[in-house]
Amino acid sequence: MSFLLEPDREYLTSKGITFEELEWDGKKAVVLKERPLPANRFDAKAADVLILLPSGYPDVGPDMFYLLPWVKLLQPNRFPNAADQPLDFGGQRWQRWSRHNTEWRSGIDGMRTMIKRVEHALENAA
């Protein structure tokens, strides 16, 4: 099963990002496997990143992202802001990072810009 379009697949492959396309309970998603987390910020060095794809993707952008394992900040020892709620998907309980940006450019934005949002949110977690 593959529902990502070629530009997304080409980008992920060219960056050496291992990914899995999933469909669960009628919802499509991409899991970016073992993504490195910012050094010395969290109680894990890497995590899988779940991105739910809305039905209109890539004309419509994803909202939020989810991590597994759940991660906490090292200092202070707690979950980051707005990242302490679960999402059950694919038989697993993911850590929801409630991060929003409704600006999305159809035909331009895709996995590469969504990944930049994820990375920026992780780098600036407080």
Partner 1 sequence: MSEEHKTGDSKKGPFHIVVDHKPHKWDEPFITGLQIKKLAGVDSAAYDAWQDVPGPEDVLLADDTKVDLRKPETERFFTGKKTTTEG
- Rule CB under 8 A: which residues touch partner 1? 7, 11, 14-17, 81-82, 98-101, 103, 105, 107-109, 112-113, 116-117, 119-121
User: In whole angstroms, how close is the CB of 32 to partner 1 at the nearest point?
Assistant: 12
User: In whole angstroms, how close is the CB of 10 to partner 1 at the nearest point?
Assistant: 10
**What letter would DSSP give residue 108?**
T
Q: How far apart are CA 122 and CA 48, in angstroms?
A: 13
Q: How far apart are CA 104 and CA 4, in angstroms?
A: 17
Q: Which is nearer to partner 1, 39 or 100 (CB)?
A: 100
User: In whole angstroms, how close is the CB of 50 to partner 1 at the nearest point?
Assistant: 16
CA angle 86, 116, 27 (to 5 degrees): 40
